[in-house]
Amino acid sequence: MDRVAGKVALITGAARGQGRSHAVRLAEEGADIIALDFVGELETVSYPLPTAEDLAETARQVEALGRKVVTTEADVRDGAAMRAAVDECVAKLAAPDILVANAGIFTVGLFADLSEEDWSETLATNLTGVFNTVKAVLPHLPDGAAIVLISSLLGLVGANETGHYSATKHGVMGLMKTLAIELGSRGIRVNTINPGTVPTPMVVRERVFKMYCPDLEAPTEEDFKVSSEQNNLLPTPWVEPRDISNAVLFLVSDEARFITGESLLVDAGFYTK
């Protein structure tokens, strides 16, 4: 219960889904938490985005574990805003030893149908947002810190209707490799986690069901689960947020002290299949 005891973890996209799960899991193992997320609307995103109440609930769950937590609303697309938010949170709590760049959006559409807005908003959030996050946090990171960038299975492969999303997640992989090289002399380890399908609000919705089941006129969640499971080696339609959080915990703990520049797939065997 103390694999990251005495450390501070800064997590983006922490209001719900995987981000909240990462915050809670690291808190269970002794870390204090800086939790950031965007609260508002994005033009190209049709599913509901996190609310201030969601971010407050993350804080409540961390505090219930007896850990300290600082939250703030921040847009990873805005470099200046991210620097101000990170500086403010560090002043309130402490400099982070762990960075988990988790914030992202997931919209789908055939490449021929994508608008410039679809492309630019996904790029700004999923790739430039990671750049802005690392730039804002890096001046505070001590030697020996750990960085985990959340990429995706689609950072290693392509898939129908995901050209813009897949491009950003491939970009995160390249950024991780470069950061691992540049920061290695300081003992800062940089890795990615590449999740497969995870049942969060941005995935479990009708538009994604249709992407997975294009031959069905009105696919249901059960149709989606059946189709998704057929893609995996292991008998499950998806991996849970906590499965990704357990991988985060491993990579930021001393158990992974000599692991850097690597991508860790948590995908129930999709990539191998």
How large is the angle between the packed helices 163-183 and 129-137, nearest 10 degrees?
A: 20
Token pair, residue 75, equals 């847009």
- CA–CA gap between residue 87 and residue 10 (Å, rounded): 12
- CA–CA gap between residue 99 and residue 150 (Å, rounded): 11
**Contact call for residues 269 and 232 (beta carbons, < 8 A):** yes
- CA–CA gap between residue 27 and residue 30 (Å, rounded): 5
- CA–CA gap between residue 14 and residue 238 (Å, rounded): 21
Element (H, E) at 266: strand 263-266
Burial of residue 226 (number of CB atoms within 10 Å: 0-12, 13-18, 19+): middle
271 belongs to the catalytic site:
no
- CA–CA gap between residue 20 and residue 3 (Å, rounded): 18
Handedness of CA 88, 93, 95, 101 (dihedral sign): negative
Neighbours of 136 (CB within 10 A): 25
Active site residues: 165
